[in-house]
Chains A and B, each alone.
Chain A
Amino acid sequence: MRIRLQHLMVVVCISFKCASAQSTVWGLQSGDRFSVITTIDSETVIQLADSAPVTSTSKEQLELEYLVGRVRPAETEMQVRVASFVRIGSSGNSFTDSMFDQRLKLLERIPITIRVDPNGVVTNLSGYRESLKQFAGPDRKMLQILHEAWPQQSFESWIGRPFWLTKPGDDNEARESWERIDQLSLGLMGGLRTVATCRIDSQTDDSAKVLVSGAARLIAPSPSDNDASPRSVSFTDVEVTDRSFAGEGLMLLPEKTEDEDSKPVQLRPWFASLALNWSVTGKANITNSGRSQNVSFQHRQKQSSELQPNFRMGRPAAISFPTPPPR
């Protein structure tokens, strides 16, 4: 009887070990800390009916730090914070840029929490409203505009894109392609919603190249929002005439070792890099102080994300989540 019980315990222990190795996204464990730097390169050309086109460009680098908190079989909870923001170039107003940068820096102490399932899908996000409030400061009109220009779905997509590179299913039923729903904010023009299909293009023993494709669909700013909006400029009747979306990434595959002791340290997370390109061309009506004009626009955006080399396996008990600064 005792021997049977011991056998059972061994089986249970092995099962738990296997389960813990496979049940978290990217093999993450509580206390892990990693950073992803995303370079956002965008260009927008807007042409009012009888005017010359106006081109605005920007290039920013944003570092998001992910700190793994609770790990449960169905989901991994993480705290995310903006660790740094660098404006590499912009054709905009330097005063406005500077104000934007300062506001963004305040986000460093806002606790954004996400839950990610083992397939890399963000199932829950909190801290969205707090982040916008922190960004808007005491300006209620600004808060309303931010809500319209950067809806929660876009915010969630922004934080969750690296997790696209997660091959769903266990080893027995690993799929070669999977889908993710994404929303890219186009500010007051609305957003681009994409069902992105990730497909393994090629793979070696320890990594896989993933191609991303999909059809982007414009989510126009809703008329009811416009009615309630405090802003003086609004886009209506937005129509897209041309659009494209594509990307590629590199993900690491879980190490397969028969003898777990032969590998000194488990290499995780399993993300390496992801580059996505959006392009959209269209026309709309722009209303400014009650005056309406036709406008044509072209927007392209490239987001390149890379995992940073520094990875920390921390003590789960030592995690202290940041608290919002007093206002």
Chain B
Amino acid sequence: MGKERWLAVAVKMELTRVIVSEINDQQAIYLKEVDGARKFPILVGEFEAGIINRRLLEEPPFRPLTHDLLRLTIESLGGEPQEVVVTEMKDHIYFAVLKVKQNDQLLEIDCRPSDAVALSVHYDPPLPIYVAEEVLTEVS
């Protein structure tokens, strides 16, 4: 799928639930359509779920963790994160991009949705989260 295509039909989402499980390996985040009712879960790693949960609880770490480091690095290099987009799903694996503006250029950095969402909640307000309409139609 061409990037222009999913950009044109991306749907704004919000993070509505982080499920941190201590009893099994399945951690999940739920994204819900801002102007609609569609929602879907994305399985994430224990570390990412913990990071997102910690941010929602507004518990800043004593020392910068990985996503703090990522945020600081982007800022130090003059980048301005714009948004994150879940672009496609292949073989039950979601793909995402982080869009960063730097020197009037819009960079699209390939990443896992869990990292993208984790980075999103490191900003106040959080970076907007979008999901390609095709992905949303398929999974919700």
Question: B-contacting residues of A (Cβ < 8 Å)?
Answer: 31, 204, 206-207, 263-265, 267, 308-315, 318
Contact = CB atoms under 8 A, between A and B. Distances in A.
Interface stretch (B5-13, B15-23, B100-108): B15-23
Interface in B11-65: 15-24, 26-28, 30, 37, 39, 41, 43, 53, 56-57
Given A264-B41, A267-B41, A309 B22 contact: no
B28 A310 contact: no
B64 to A, nearest CB: 21
Interface SS majority for chain A: loop
26 contacts: A204-B37, A206-B37, A263-B41, A264-B26, A264-B41, A265-B41, A267-B17, A267-B19, A267-B41, A309-B18, A309-B56, A310-B18, A310-B20, A310-B53, A311-B18, A311-B19, A312-B21, A312-B53, A313-B20, A313-B21, A313-B22, A313-B24, A314-B22, A314-B23, A315-B22, A315-B23
Contacts of B27: 265
Contacts of A312: 19-22, 53
Interface in B65-94: none
A181 B26 CA distance: 39
A65 to B, nearest CB: 11
Interface residues of B, number: 21
A184 B27 CA distance: 38
A310 B20 CA distance: 8
Contacts of B39: 206
B122 to A, nearest CB: 15
B17 A311 contact: yes
Contact of A313 (B15, B19, B30): B19
A296 B30 CA distance: 49
B16 A309 contact: yes
Nearest to B36: A204
A264 B15 contact: no
Contact of B21 (A207, A263, A265, A310): A265
Contacts of A313: 19-24
Contacts of B41: 263-265, 267
A308 B56 contact: yes
Given A204-B37, A310-B57, A265 B23 contact: no
A267 B18 contact: no
Contact of B17 (A204, A206, A263, A309): A309
B59 to A, nearest CB: 11
Given A313-B23, A314-B23, A315-B22, A264 B53 contact: no
A308 B58 CA distance: 12
A310 B15 CA distance: 10
Instruction: Point out which of A206, A265, A267, A312 has the most chain B C-beta atoms below 10 A from its C-beta.
Output: A265
Given A265-B27, A312-B53, A313-B20, 6 more contacts: A206-B39, A265-B43, A310-B18, A313-B19, A314-B23, A318-B22
When A and B form their complex, which 9 residue pairs have the shortest distance between CB atoms, in order from nearest?
A313-B21, A265-B28, A312-B20, A310-B56, A314-B22, A310-B53, A315-B22, A309-B17, A265-B19
A264 B24 CA distance: 11
A61 to B, nearest CB: 13
Contacts of B56: 308-310
A136 to B, nearest CB: 30
B22 A31 contact: yes
A31 B23 contact: yes
Contacts of A309: 15-18, 56
Nearest to A83: B57
Contacts of B16: 309
Contacts of A207: 37
Nearest to B20: A312
